[in-house]
Structure 1
Amino acid sequence: MKTSELFKEYIWLIDLLKTYGGITFEEINEKWVQTEMSGGVEMARSTFNRHKDAIEDIFGIYIECDRSNGYVYYIGNAKVLDDDTIQTWMLSTLSISNKIHENKSLYDRVLFENAPENDSIFDGLIEGMRKNLKIDIGYQKYDIETTPHVIIEPYCLKMFHRRWYVFGQLYKKINGREKSTFSLFSLDKIVSLKLLEEKFILPKDFDVEAYFSNYFGVIVFDGTRAERVVLRVYGNEAKDMKYRPLHHSQKCLKECDNSVDFEYFLCPTTDFRDYIIGRGTRMKVISPKWLAYEIRYKHMEAAKAYSEDK
């Protein structure tokens, strides 16, 4: 079964437990056979146990059984569902997708943005991460016609602007000697993937959230240092950002009639600077000065391009 299909079943089971709080395996099966996913076939106990283990492994959600109350299954750490993490975001997104799938009559009344998909690549990366296997990937580069191959240790997957990236240790030879470094690859540029027999050990002290905590997106290797950034945001953009922070470090410094000053501590990398430029007149850099000058210069260059006669 494809990983995408398994994920649908995982999410369905989590949603069911969230809705009922506690439910027996027999009651789970009664609900399960009513879904299109089941094909009218009951869920085997062994399948349920595998799903339970996978849900704990992928989402950190523990499904426990109250044997003293008629063998009722429930989410043992329900608080995790309220945390602001990638896991809860995935749960919410996939849960909505499942609900629409189970109500196909609504397909033409729900619009989604297109996102690049490659199930085989995603499946391979998930398997490599679960089994801690090194992976040989071939990827596209815009400036060359050949397909370079590299060996990586897949540490994690990260989504940014509707694109998936794999992050991990990259191994390559420099002057005849093998060296390793951290790297990110966009899944839509990976054209081939092969699981290797060689295993790797994920460092016990590796914390993916801590590693990316000072970054806005996926550019993490350009040498930009973390520093205090203050943005002045205007109108409805400011109101929206109060409820949907741009970064976890966001703090509100000052509110005026038509603007709000937000403070951040992060690395103002290219993807962060491009975001500011994209907001146009709705966002202005107050500090640091070098960043304000660069954004101003980019806006002037853009205006110049439109003003020049072709």
Structure 2
Amino acid sequence: MRSQSVLVRRYIWLMSTIYDAGRISYEDIEKKWLRSSLNDEKKPFPLRTFHDHISAIQELFDVNIVCDRSYGYKYYIENADVLDLDSVCLWMLNSFSVSNAIAGAKDIRDRILIQDIPSSRRWLAPILSAIREKQVIEIDYLSFQKGEVPARKLCPFYVKLYDNRWYMFAREPENPKMKVYALDRIKALRTLDEEFTFEPTSADRESIDKCFGHCIYEDIPPRVIRIKATKSASYYLDTLPLHKSQRIHEVGEDYVIYEYEFAPTTEFQATLRKWGNQLEICKE
């Protein structure tokens, strides 16, 4: 029997193959499978196994793979907008696809250079479990500004990956104010036999969505910001937006003006400086 991790990698491979192709026949999928690095023994992809995988993908990822019989029996993702709109699902697909590619390149592992993301392996899983089960956690924390802080109980609401670091947004049981904690500064974490019943408010989520980076400042409200980018810079921003609210406001011959809505924090100012004269804030 295949291990669960092997099966999940196969599900991701199949979902990624169909997503990238748009529409693809079972015969072409099997040809790709015979060349896949996941298929070390070069075994065929039985039709029954193929349909079992499709059912598992629907159950695990809520992604519907269907066959268009009027178009040469081509398979496609019926609800591809789930991947386009659900940033977590798309991130999972991208992450697993990268993991699959690297797993199949063991012979050239010394040629693959990656940057480690601090803390994600140790603390992310118990925090996600606490969010799901609404369990109170207690952490020992080292602040870069204050040093070691006393152990504190927290009710975790959200986690966010930003600039290769994971952050947790949480509140204390007796204090409704949500604060942010970097996972790589947590020195110890204990899941307590205590539950909390309250949910994050819509204002909590909005404050995260409309902050730039990971910090939330009550004295810096979100506002509409327009940034003029050089043509060369726009190519980068189109593929990796500065913020999720990014949209194109105006296109010129040698520039593009983008419009955003977020709180212009110090992180935003630092990001702007990195771009030098390629980006400038439009005067209101």
Displacement of 1:8 in angstroms is 7.7
Displacement of 1:198: 0.8
Aligned equivalents of 1:192, 1:104: Cα separation in 2: 34
Equivalent in 221, 233, 245 of residue 225 of structure 1: 221
Q: Measure the CA separation in 1 of the matches of 2:223 and 2:4.
A: 42
1:268/1:145 CA distance change after superposition, 3 Å? closer
Structure 1 residues 241 and 62: CA distance shift in structure 2, 3 A: closer
Alpha carbons of 1:163 and 1:209: their partners in 2 closer, same or farther (altered >3 Å)? same
Q: Which residue of 1 aligns with 2:83?
A: 81
Q: Tell me how far apart the structure 1 counterparts of residues 202 and 172 of structure 2 sit (CA, whole Å).
A: 15
Amino acid at match of 2:182: S
Q: Matched residues in 2 for 1:277 and 1:212: separation? A: 23
1:298 alignment partner in structure 2: none
Q: CA deviation at 1:193?
A: 0.2
- 1:107: how far off? 1.3
Q: Give the structure 1 partner of residue 68 of structure 2.
A: none
**Would the aligned equivalents of 2:119 and 2:166 in 1 still touch at CA under 8 Å?**
no
Q: Which residue of 1 aligns with 2:259?
A: 263
Whether 1:180 aligns to 2:176 is yes
Report which stretch shifted further, 5-14 or 273-282. Answer: 5-14
Structure 1 residue 182: Cα displacement: 0.4
| Correspondence for 1:250 | 246
Distance in 2 of aligned mates of 1:143 and 1:80: 41
Give, in whole Å, the separation in 2 of the partners of 1:139 and 1:8. Answer: 36
Give the drift of 1:208: 7.4
Uncovered stretches (5+) of structure 1, i.e. residues with no partner: 24-30, 37-47, 65-73, 172-177, 289-310
Q: Distance in 2 between matches of 1:35 and 1:135?
A: 42
Once the two structures are TM-superposed, the CA of residue 191 in structure 1 deviates from its matched residue by: 0.5
Instruction: Please list the CA deviations of residues 69-126 of structure 1 after superposition, one character each: whole Å capped at 9, or x if unmatched.
Output: xxxxx98855412335133123202321232123311312322123213523222212
Distance 1:180 1:215 in 2: 19
- How far residue 204 of structure 1 moved from its aligned partner, in angstroms, is 7.7
Aligned counterparts of 1:184 and 1:195: Cα–Cα separation in 2:
18
Q: CA deviation at 1:263?
A: 1.9
* Distance in 2 separating the partners of 1:196 and 1:6: 29
1:200 is the counterpart of 2:202:
no
Counterpart for residue 61 of structure 1? 62
Contact 1:160 1:217 in 2 (8 A): yes
In 1, distance between residues paired with 2:274 and 2:155? 34
- Is the counterpart of residue 101 in structure 1 residue 103 in structure 2? yes
1:146 deviates by 3.5
Contact kept, 8 Å, 1:252 with 1:260, in 2: the verdict is yes
Query: Could you tell me which residue of structure 1 aligns to residue 12 of structure 2?
Result: 14
Judged with a 3 Å threshold, the aligned counterparts in structure 2 of structure 1 residues 151 and 63 are, in CA distance, closer, same or farther, namely farther
1: CA distance, partners of 2:234 / 2:255: 6
Alignment partner of 1:140 is 2:138: no
Q: Secondary structure at the match of 2:180?
A: strand
Give the superposition deviation at 1:236.
0.7
Alpha-carbon contact 2:120-2:166 (below 8 Å) kept: no
In structure 2, distance between residues paired with 1:61 and 1:75: 11
**Cα distance 1:246–1:109, how it changes in 2: closer, same or farther (>3 A)?**
same
- Conserved 8 A contact 2:210-2:263: yes
Give 1:112's aligned amino acid. I
TM-score of the superposed pair, with normalisation by structure 1: 0.66
The answer on whether the counterparts of 1:231 and 1:287 sit within 8 Å (CA) in structure 2 is: no
Aligned to 1:122: 124
| CA distance, structure 1, for counterparts of residue 268 and residue 6 of structure 2 | 33
RMSD value, Cα: 3.9
Identity among equivalent positions (%) equals 24
Given that residues 157 and 200 in structure 2 are in contact (C-alpha distance below 8 angstroms), is that contact kept between their aligned partners in structure 1?
A: no
Equivalent position of 1:306 in the other structure: none
- Distance in 2 between residues matched to 1:228 and 1:117, nearest whole Å: 34
Distance across 2 between alignment mates of 1:271 and 1:122: 23
Task: Classify the secondary structure of the residue corresponding to 1:155.
Answer: strand
Q: Who is 1:91 aligned against? A: 93
Give the match's secondary structure for 2:14.
Answer: helix
How many pairs were matched up?
249
